[in-house]
């Protein structure tokens, strides 16, 4: 979970919290919903940008993502979302058909949007990107004892070995895992 220079590639708990606070101050509901979707689901930016209104399961309070990293199409996964995001997504594009995409901006615009909120949150190192947010989501799940097989599903990984890389954490996250062992 480190780059070639030894820098952490994920947001830690404090950075995730400051990012969330920065997002919640955004008055534009569409932008806020986009950032919160990445924050709460750990999806890839391209997966978020492909979400249609029909892929939001309001009854089950989940977003249905098509996993875009796999070599074949048609691999879908449901990721639960909090009530606050469900309510926000209900407000968006109410007049649109189920096949209309929620966010109509480009990948580059979405990337800049995430980078902007990272900057507002004071996160300016290598992990200030959508991928850092994705990695941070996975590490947070590990820290909260989400089973690895559930995290694998939520992340859209084909193999458990790919998901297991998120067990390689450092700093406070590593200490918290060790505390779970020590506090019997």
Handedness of CA 106, 110, 111, 113 (dihedral sign): positive
Strand partners, 167: none
CATH superfamily, region 13-182? Intergrase catalytic core (1.10.443.10)
**Residue 12: how many other CB atoms lie within 10 Å:** 19
Contacts of 12 (CB under 8 A, 6+ apart): 136, 139, 171, 172, 173
Examine the pLDDT at 46 and tell me if it is beyond 70. yes
Q: What is the pLDDT of residue 6?
A: 75
Q: What is the pLDDT of residue 184?
A: 65
- Per-residue pLDDT band at 59 (split at 50, 70, 90): very high
Domain positions in the chain: 13-182
Indicate the DSSP class of residue 56: E
């Amino acid at each position: 979970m480190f780059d070639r220079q030894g820098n952490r590639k994920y947001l830690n708990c404090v950075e995730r919290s400051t990012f969330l606070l920065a997002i919640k101050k955004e008055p534009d509901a569409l932008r806020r919903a986009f950032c919160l979707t990445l924050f709460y689901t750990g999806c890839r930016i391209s997966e978020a940008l492909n979400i249609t209104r029909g892929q939001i399961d309001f009854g089950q309070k989940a977003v249905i993502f098509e996993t875009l990293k796999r070599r074949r199409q048609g691999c879908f996964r449901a990721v639960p979302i909090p009530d606050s995001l469900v309510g926000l997504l209900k407000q968006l594009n109410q007049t649109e058909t189920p096949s209309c995409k929620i966010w109509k901006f480009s990948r580059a615009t979405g990337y800049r949007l995430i980078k902007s909120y990272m900057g507002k949150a004071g996160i300016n190192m290598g992990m200030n990107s959508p991928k850092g947010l994705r990695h941070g989501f996975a590490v947070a799940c590990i820290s909260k004892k989400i089973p690895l097989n559930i995290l694998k599903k939520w992340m859209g990984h084909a193999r458990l070995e790919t998901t297991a890389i998120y067990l390689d954490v450092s700093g406070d996250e590593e200490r918290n895992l060790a505390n779970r062992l020590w506090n019997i």
